[in-house]
Amino acid sequence: MVVKIGDESKRADVSPQENASSLFAKLAKVIAKPGTSRSQVFRSGSGRRVYAYSVFAADPSKLVREDAKGTKTVGRLVNGRFRAVSRDPNV
């Protein structure tokens, strides 16, 4: 059974320079260059901390959060928030 409610929404027109694949390609090119500092990657215009998240290889149900200093923390997402399980420098 299919239920349709409301009118069909219009798709926003996005220029080829602004689509996700071209932006990711540009980002990958910048990050791959030698000399790109961690501070440039983890910079925030709002002054809030920026983290990089990845899946913990030993246990896919956990995440690894890395900060600008390179500190890695293993944890889980609980109600949409990261909760640390352990702080292991060998992660």
Domain coordinates in residue numbering, the chain: 46-91
Lowest mean pLDDT among 16-30, 48-62, 64-78: 16-30
- Segment 14-36 shows an average pLDDT of 70
Percent of the chain residues topping a pLDDT of 90: 11
E-state strands within the chain: 52-55, 63-66, 72-78, 81-86
**Residue 86 in contact with residue 76, Cβ under 8 Å?**
no
Tell which wins on pLDDT, 44 or 67.
67
Question: Could you tell me how far CA 25 lies from the centroid of its own chain?
Answer: 15
Predicted confidence at residue 38, as pLDDT, reads 72
pTM above 0.75, yes or no: no
